[in-house]
């Protein structure tokens, strides 16, 4: 886990002693204090107060307070919203990774951090705070003979939706950062070390990062590539859908902060999100090892012949053509090209051909980089200082 957004609904769930630290300064109101325009407002909130506590040497969660109008009960309510990186909160960096056993430590440090700026809040309140967004992340230290640039180049050919133009893909920083946006979730791939050493306006991580740079120097990671995969769930409904399904709970059960530390939740969700990407039929074709040698062609032809059927040779030729096209241009570009020239009323025909091609190429391996990442995500070994020490020693 890394970044999380939690919401704490008042009243009497939190107390703010230093209201002057917010912009604008927090001023509590009652329903009678509102203007007629405010009473008729259809906005989600009336005012937003943002914590501006400068001069903090230690990591401090981002805090906003919303002033909400409850028209039915003619009351003013306040919601505290906190966004923070869980590993940075407890470790000061996000190279180290969080375990479900860190829950009590996270709660204690979160409460202590807010108390430094005059926000008083109880343990149970934080534990039961509602989660509205969460990033599940994994750092993978790459061996010298596998380049992150090659992995990102391979991933650039994948897609996550059958429908054209639903998924958006974006490369940044000369191809070093790759995004896949798809509805209410986002997948991000980049080099954690390179990103940490970039200027603030160019890196993915905009937050507190000084100690992270110290870790990089201490463990000689400046010239070490660390592949980072982030699966970002951005909306409350999607958080409930994904986490409740993983925990085998009712879909509409609200997700509390303490639920994020359930046994194997992070592991199961991250692994599933990765498999949903790489095991889609078209993506399996895109991620086959880069060298389509005669042996690959022989494998496809032999498997098609063994399956038999009147069109076995056609299926073999179509499969090899699809693999070559998708690996070079990506499945999204292939779909755009086909549907710009032929009837779009039956897209399932292309889908069936891709699925057939996947059957004939199932035993062909991933490229070396994708295969390594796939194995590491399956192993799911958390990055700790002890592991970094062993990595440095092995160098």
Q: What residues contact 109, with CB distance under 8 A and at least 6 apart?
A: 89, 90
Please tell me the predicted confidence (pLDDT) of residue 176.
Answer: 74
Measured distance CA(375)–CA(353) in Å, rounded? 28
Contact in structure between 356 and 319 (CB atoms under 8 Å): yes
* pLDDT tens for each residue of 140-160: 999 989 999 999 988 988 887
Query: Strands 177-182, 62-70: parallel, antiparallel or unpaired by DSSP?
Result: unpaired
- Looking up tokens 């798809």 gives 182
Please tell me the predicted confidence (pLDDT) of residue 37.
Answer: 92
Query: What residues does 83 pair with on adjacent strands?
Result: 5, 62
Q: Which two tokens stand for residue 268?
A: 């199961």
pTM: 0.87
How buried is 297 (Cβ within 10 angstroms: 0-12 exposed, 13-18 middle, 19+ buried)? Answer: middle
Please tell me the predicted confidence (pLDDT) of residue 165.
Answer: 37
Please tell me the predicted confidence (pLDDT) of residue 265.
Answer: 96
Measured distance CA(317)–CA(35) in Å, rounded? 73
Please tell me the predicted confidence (pLDDT) of residue 207.
Answer: 57
Please tell me the predicted confidence (pLDDT) of residue 212.
Answer: 85
- DSSP assignment letter at 61: -
Please tell me the predicted confidence (pLDDT) of residue 45.
Answer: 92
The SS3 call for residue 228 is: strand
* pLDDT tens for each residue of 72-125: 999 999 999 999 999 999 999 999 999 999 999 999 999 999 999 999 999 999
Q: Which residues of the chain have pLDDT under 50?
A: 162-166
Please tell me the predicted confidence (pLDDT) of residue 376.
Answer: 96
């Amino acid at each position: 886990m890394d970044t999380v957004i939690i919401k704490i609904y008042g009243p009497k769930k939190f107390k703010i002693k230093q209201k002057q630290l917010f912009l604008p300064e927090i001023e509590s109101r009652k329903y009678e204090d509102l203007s007629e325009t405010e009473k008729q407002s259809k906005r989600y909130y009336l005012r937003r107060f943002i914590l501006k506590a400068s001069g903090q040497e230690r990591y401090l969660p981002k805090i906003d307070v919303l002033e909400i109008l409850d028209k039915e009960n003619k009351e003013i309510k306040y919601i505290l919203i906190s966004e923070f990186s869980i590993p940075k909160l407890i470790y000061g960096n996000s190279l180290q990774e969080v375990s479900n056993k860190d829950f009590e430590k996270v709660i204690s440090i979160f409460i202590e951090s807010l108390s430094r700026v005059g926000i008083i809040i109880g343990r149970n309140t934080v534990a039961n705070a509602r989660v509205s967004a969460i990033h599940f992340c994994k750092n993978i230290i790459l061996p010298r003979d596998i380049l992150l640039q090659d992995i990102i180049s391979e991933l650039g050919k994948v897609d996550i939706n059958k429908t054209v133009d639903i998924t958006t893909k974006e490369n940044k920083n000369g191809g070093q950062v790759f995004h896949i946006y798809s509805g209410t979730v986002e997948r991000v791939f980049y080099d954690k070390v390179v990103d940490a050493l970039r200027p603030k306006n160019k890196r993915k991580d905009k937050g507190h990062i000084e100690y992270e740079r110290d870790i990089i120097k201490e463990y000689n990671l400046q010239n070490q590539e660390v592949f980072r995969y982030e699966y970002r769930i951005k909306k409350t409904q999607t958080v409930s859908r994904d986490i409740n399904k993983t925990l085998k709970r009712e879909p509409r059960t609200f997700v509390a902060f303490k639920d994020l530390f359930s046994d194997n939740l992070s592991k199961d969700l991250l692994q599933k999100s990765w498999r949903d990407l790489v095991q889609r039929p078209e993506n399996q074709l895109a991620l086959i090892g880069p060298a389509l040698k005669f042996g690959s062609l022989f494998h496809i032809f032999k498997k098609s012949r063994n399956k038999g059927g009147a069109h076995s040779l056609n299926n073999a030729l179509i499969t090899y053509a699809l693999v070559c096209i998708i690996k070079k241009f990506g499945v999204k570009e292939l779909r755009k090209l086909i549907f710009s020239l032929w009837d779009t009323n039956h897209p399932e025909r292309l889908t069936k051909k891709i699925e057939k091609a996947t059957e004939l190429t199932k035993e062909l391996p991933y490229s070396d980089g994708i295969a390594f990442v796939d194995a590491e995500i399956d192993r799911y070994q958390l990055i700790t200082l002890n592991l970094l020490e062993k990595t440095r020693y092995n160098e």
